Amino acid sequence: MDSSQTKYDHLIGKVIDDRYEILQVKGIGGMAVVLKAKDRLKNRIVAIKMLNEKHEGDSASVRRFVNESRAIALLSNDHIVDIYDVAFTGKTKYLVMEYIEGITLREYMKRNGPLGLEKSLDFTIQILSALQHAHEKGVVHRDIKPQNIMVQAGGKLKVTDFGIAQISDNNQGNAGVAMGTVYYISPEQASGKTTTFSSDIYSTGVMLYEMATGRLPFEGDTPLSIAMMQVNTAPVRPRKIDPKIPQGLEQIIMRAMNKAPEERFRSAKSMLRACEIIRRDKTVVFEEAGTVSKPTEEIITEPMKERKKVKAPPLTLFPIVMGVFTAFVMVLAVAGVILLSSLIDMTSEDHTITIPIPNLVGQELTDDLRASLEAQNIVLDVTQVNNDVFAAGQIAVQDPRAGQIRKIANDNMNVEIKVQVSVGKSSFTLEDLTNQEYRSALIRLQNLGIIVTVEEQFHNEVIQGHIISYTPAAGTVLKNGETVHLVVSKGAQTTYAPMVSVIGETEERAKVLLEGSGFAAGNITREHADIPEGLVVRQSVAPGEQAAQKYTTVDLVISLGPKDPPPTTTTAPTTTTKAEGSNS
């Protein structure tokens, strides 16, 4: 254990908030120390991520801690670390999370070098599963790298550290600030531009590149030089490093690492599906979309096999062969008619698949419905329409109609059904949105064809993520294409103030002073002291120290008064007895 870690050894054996018993110091990061602990209340092992001494009073670090708790609290996925508790007690600020026994993906790659095709795809699919869930919840991780992926003993991965995650809508981001880690950062992050879900896909592509080839796509002498490569330099294609890498896998990596966000995979789910295709069939080569004018079109469409070229036989004994060939053609002229007829029969009967058209009208268009139809070789071409009969999200019209039959030549082909999906009535009355969770309100409004704009503000009373106010007012009749502006709470703003001194005050007076300054009294203990009984002897946060209002509690020690003085011992007076016969 290094010296930076030993300075936290004094925490081992201590119990935080009468609940978490510290068992071990697991590691030290730039901002936090990670501890292994036992949750006495739940009787389980947990990980505690605690701000280190250097960042205890740093408002940016505290905000990052709060942000991480917000991000993970929104998520529940088998490949994302769970968060159990968040606390700000006096100087102590910590997150309590699921304890993961394992090593980071960085350590795993250091030990194993290139991971090979199967392991690289397995790990990437697990990471993409986590990102798909996070993205669907509106969370962009923004720091996907091997150091933030934990590998458990059975090969299961957990994505961690959402400290700089962006919790926003798909079209919002933090422009002007470069976030993330330089070796895995996306070009838009390196340039300080707006980040979206596509930024996580780029970072995942870099990790897949490294897992498959055993080396990073960009390395340089300084972080700045590497960041510039992410923006301007094309990586060496993986198959030039290792020709054994399948062409389809190289296509996935290069698509994910495209400099232009709109030219990458449209979603983590889309990239995950491509990886699953390669895992099933290593020979697949994806057809590349040739139309540059369609930025949303996937580069990966129908897989097609590489064709082998057959060389023509050498022209030896040409006159004899031609004589035989002429006679053979005469025979084929008759036999060919029979063969062609057989091929037509075989194609039309033995090798076609019959697809009955199901009734979709009235059904809600969901991912489950799409997946069920895709399993039947049916894909949907969707357009959205206003409809006064069907609710938003329901299928109003389909073509071809239910009950018809379509045939396809093989299982690699699909039948297309054109459907019109209702976005609701052409007009409706706006409901009262006050204090509603804004994401659900946003989805409902968008399904009704309303344009929604969102503004975030700090608010001391409205819960984070809920609507403070909105325009126009409730009761307004709106039509499709009109705009509703939502003002959404960011929660109470973290402010800092010097800690008030309550030493020498009575317990009740101390509580009043703390609350009046935005703090709160914490644990109260009592001990003998050389000041009158009932007065404050010590406080856990020193007077004058900057502390977070509304989050900081101050433990107080109250005097029991001086200890009783030791009892005095009395001695009998000494007497002198004259010796017999002495002079008086």
Q: How confident is the model at residue 444 (pLDDT cuts 50, 70, 90)?
A: confident
State which fold the 496-559 domain adopts. Trypsin Inhibitor V; Chain A (3.30.10)
pLDDT at residue 273 tops 80: yes
Contact 566, 537 (CB under 8 A): no
Higher pLDDT pick, 389 / 217: 217
Instruction: Give mean pLDDT, residues 176-194.
Output: 72
Decide which of 41 and 246 is more confident: 246
Token pair in block for residue 238: 């993986």
Report, as an integer, the average pLDDT of 426-436: 86
**3-state SS, residue 253:** helix
Report the CATH architecture of 427-489. 2-Layer Sandwich (3.30)
Give domain 353-422's CATH architecture: 2-Layer Sandwich (3.30)
Examine domains 104-304 and 496-559 and report if their fold is the same. Answer: no
Reading the block at residue 257, the tokens are 């690492």
Q: How far is CA 150 from CA 82, 156, 194, in A?
A: 13, 8, 28
More confident call, 344 vs 202: 202
Nearest alpha carbon to residue 99 among 21, 13, 211, 187: 21
Residue 30 is predicted with a pLDDT of 59
Q: Is the pLDDT of residue 582 over 50?
A: no
Phi, psi of 526 (to 5 degrees): -130, 145
Choosing from 17, 122, 143, 345, which is the catalytic residue? Answer: 143
Q: How far apart are CA 437 and CA 442, in angstroms?
A: 9
DSSP 278-313: HHH-TT-EEPPP--TT-TTS-S--SEEPPPPP-PPP
Q: Residue 346 — pLDDT band, cuts 50, 70, 90?
A: very low
CA–CA separation, 218 and 423 (whole Å): 46
Is 9 a catalytic site residue?
A: no
Residue pLDDT, tens place only, 486-502: 999 887 777 888 999 99
Structure tokens at 436: 């509603």
Q: Which fold has domain 104-304?
A: Transferase(Phosphotransferase); domain 1 (1.10.510)
CATH number of 3-98: 3.30.200.20
The answer, as to whether pTM is greater than 0.75, is no
The pLDDT of residue 162 is above 80 = no
Q: What is the mean pLDDT of residues 294-322?
A: 42
Give the other-Cβ count within 10 Å of 349's Cβ. Answer: 8
Bridge partner list, 558: 526, 536
pLDDT at 13 over 90: no
Scan for tokens 């031609």, then name that residue: 322
User: HSE (CB half, 13 Å, CA atoms) of 335?
Assistant: 6
Range in 25-29, 325-329, 358-362, 569-573 with the lowest mean pLDDT? 325-329
- Domain locations along the chain: 3-98, 104-304, 322-351, 353-422, 427-489, 496-559
pLDDT above 80 for 404: yes
For residue 274, count other CB atoms closer than 10 A to its CB: 24
Q: Please indicate whether residue 238 or residue 440 has the higher confidence score (pLDDT).
A: 238
Bigger pLDDT: 33 or 513? 513
Q: What is the mean pLDDT of residues 186-209?
A: 89
pLDDT category of residue 288 using cuts at 50, 70 and 90: low
Amino acid at 338: I
Q: How far apart are the first and last CA of the chain?
A: 86
